[in-house]
A and B are shown apart, each in its own frame.
Chain A
Amino acid sequence: MITDAAGLGRARATAFVLPALVLIAVFLVFPALWTIYLGLTDYRLTGLQAANPQVVGLDNYTSALGDPRFLSSLWLTVAYVGGSAVIGQAGLGFALAWVLRTRRGTVRRLVEGVVLLSWILPSTVVGFLWFALLDRDGGTLNALLGTPGFAWLLDHPLLSIIVFNTWRGTAFSMMLYSAALENVPPSHLETARLAGANVFQQLRDVVFPLIRRHVLTNLLLISLWTFNDFTPFVLTGGGPEGRSEILPIYVYNIALRGGELGLGAAVSFLILLINLVFALAYLRLLRGRRRQEATAAAGGPPA
């Protein structure tokens, strides 16, 4: 599959990749390594350790892993990713792509437009919009539902940020899946329908095998983005009583509010490791798929 169709050659290929890699190395990899180093020190925002941090080895890691606040934050993050990325964004995004696939014209443009708008509006603006929606006393939602004084952000903080993030990010999955669905030949679906397959069976037997790669790419990206998403901070600040304190907000609270930069850096590294597990699982699934394809292709002409 790897060919050098354009005749790039190693040297030119390197020259193409190099500018991006340099920028990434300086502004991404280097700060990351620095963060890993900070995680091994007692670096603080203020005080004696700010001027002269000492290396404390793995102390930060043991104290983070022993902190019940870290563990509860981890579970909140898992619920947040599962609820808003996997079920919310990917589920709703796929449903929209599937339903809109057969529609043309105004309805489709309108729905796609509104969903995309919620994705491209500036995050800072979006924060204010959701405040206006969920506000306890004058919020639009309470006015609509006839539940004045219901404090959504205080009573259901996790649910609020899950719905918020679903609203915010569904566009990406919707676009990716509608692109993927265009590659599913309508004749295959037609055949399945004539054979009496219902929608669920069509999805399971015809659609998913064909778009599996897209599903995996999508799930990986949105899980990573959601896992490291700081935006819910503008809605709840992690509260009340830490009930929506997902890991990125936990890091912010201990590192900048609490001033324990070393501990914050250590937790960031733990987050990186958790993300690594995600990505490895994904890579393995994708590899398995490639091998299947290779075996299938060996038997006949490539698709």
Chain B
Amino acid sequence: MIRHTVGRLVSTVFVAVVLALFALPMLWLAAAPFDASPTITTSVPEFTLANFAAILDNPYALGSIGNSLIQGGGAAVLVVVLAALAAYALSRVSVPGRDVLLYLLLLLSSVVTGTAAMVPIFELATRLNLIDTHLGVILVVSGGLLPAAIFILKDFMDETPTSYEESARVFGASPLQILRHITVPLVRPGLATIGVWALASVWGGFLFQFILLRDPEKSPGSVILYTLYTEGGAPKLDLISTFSLLYSLPVVAMYLFVSQRYGFRFHGGIKR
């Protein structure tokens, strides 16, 4: 009993420390946007909403959030649909060399999406006329996200029992119907997780958006954030903090929505 109490105490202290550690960096985001003269120091703000009015005056700020929505949403939908189809087929049908192929793609994706392939990606996009288009960004980032998405989703699908599919098949359901009405509902938390993960990575992504888009009218918020400097090169902290907050809200809202509606978890299959 004493051991139990001590254990409980230790775990409570641990939880409190972790909570403080993770919340600390976010305090600035909560305080600075409402401060009349924000500095780098977190302090109780001299309350004002003027910063929000100022950011709305910026010609690209609001539009850039719309651009992020198009690019992030487009990539998330593309990644979830294509990865679900591929993961399902790979999980259910034995293809020689399947695992090796998946690992190789996963490796490539984690290496290539970095700075390494910037030049080829740029040349490729130029030749395919994808520079300055939302589609270009969506296709390039999706190519990078798909291997990990397939990898994780296949794990989910492997864990779902096949008996439901077998009985559905006995009753004459087609493979697409089975996927849609049986497998997708079973792995829905996994799909939701992959969707949020894909959107969040594109939302915060900078490098490819910066290379592929010249026109500030099409740039997403993550790129526009780096234009909020004075002519002398000093960051405009009032605008940066305010825009950071505005730019973070949609992903947070999406996460809350998805976790309420579908559950935000890494497991598939029937609850045991």
Chain B interface (Cβ < 8 Å from any Cβ of A): 7, 11, 14-15, 18-19, 21-29, 32, 39-42, 78, 82-83, 85-86, 88-90, 92-95, 99, 103, 105-121, 123-124, 139-140, 142-144, 146-148, 150-152, 155, 162-163, 165-166, 168-169, 175, 178-179, 183, 193, 196, 200, 203-207, 221-222, 225-226, 235, 240-241, 244, 247-248, 251-252, 255, 264-267, 272
- Give the CA-CA distance A230 to B206 in the complex, in Å: 11
Most buried by A among B41, B116, B175: B116
Are A251's CB and B92's CB within 8 A? no
B19 to A: closest C-beta gap in Å: 6
Please give me the 6 A-B residue pairs with the lowest Cβ-Cβ distance, nearest first. Answer: A27-B143, A122-B204, A268-B116, A5-B162, A123-B204, A16-B89
- Give the CA-CA distance A78 to B200 in the complex, in Å: 27
B245 to A: closest C-beta gap in Å: 8
Are B21's CB and A125's CB within 8 A? no
Are A176's CB and B114's CB within 8 A? no
Are B15's CB and A24's CB within 8 A? no
Say yes or no for A135: interface residue by CB 8 A criterion.
Answer: yes
Say yes or no for A227: interface residue by CB 8 A criterion.
Answer: yes
Given contact pairs A17-B89, A125-B204, A251 touches B117 in the complex (Cβ within 8 A):
no
Are B143's CB and A7's CB within 8 A? no
Say yes or no for A20: interface residue by CB 8 A criterion.
Answer: yes
Are B114's CB and A251's CB within 8 A? yes
Q: Mark A75-94, 1 if CB is under 8 A from B, else 0.
A: 00000000000000000100
B183 to A: closest C-beta gap in Å: 8
- 16 A-B pairs with C-beta separation under 8 A: A6-B88, A12-B175, A13-B95, A24-B146, A26-B124, A95-B14, A130-B25, A132-B25, A132-B40, A133-B24, A133-B25, A137-B40, A140-B41, A224-B106, A227-B110, A268-B112
Closest to A275 in B: B107
Closest to B105 in A: A24
Given contact pairs A13-B93, A129-B29, A133-B25, A120 touches B200 in the complex (Cβ within 8 A):
yes
Say yes or no for A139: interface residue by CB 8 A criterion.
Answer: yes
Contact of A5 among B28, B86, B114, B166 (CB under 8 A): B166
Most buried by A among B14, B93, B252, B272: B93
Closest to B178 in A: A6
Are B40's CB and A139's CB within 8 A? yes
- Give the CA-CA distance A255 to B119 in the complex, in Å: 10
B73 to A: closest C-beta gap in Å: 15
Q: Determine the interface band of chain A, counting residues with CB < 8 A from chain B.
A: 35 or more
Are A6's CB and B165's CB within 8 A? yes
Are B120's CB and A124's CB within 8 A? no
B161 to A: closest C-beta gap in Å: 9
Are B226's CB and A252's CB within 8 A? no
Are A255's CB and B89's CB within 8 A? no
Are B116's CB and A182's CB within 8 A? no
A240 to B: closest C-beta gap in Å: 20
Give how many A-B residue pairs fall within 8 Å (CB-CB).
287
- Give the CA-CA distance A89 to B205 in the complex, in Å: 21
- Give the CA-CA distance A182 to B241 in the complex, in Å: 39
B102 to A: closest C-beta gap in Å: 10
- Give the CA-CA distance A259 to B196 in the complex, in Å: 36
Closest to A175 in B: B266
Q: Mark A2-30, 1 if CB is under 8 A from B, else 0.
A: 11111111101110110111011011111
Given contact pairs A125-B204, A272-B111, A4 touches B39 in the complex (Cβ within 8 A):
no
Are A19's CB and B85's CB within 8 A? yes
B145 to A: closest C-beta gap in Å: 10
Which chain B positions have C-beta within 8 A of A107? 15
Contact of A99 among B15, B108, B116 (CB under 8 A): B15
Say yes or no for A225: interface residue by CB 8 A criterion.
Answer: yes
Which chain A positions have C-beta within 8 A of B196? 120
Given contact pairs A16-B88, A121-B251, A32 touches B117 in the complex (Cβ within 8 A):
yes
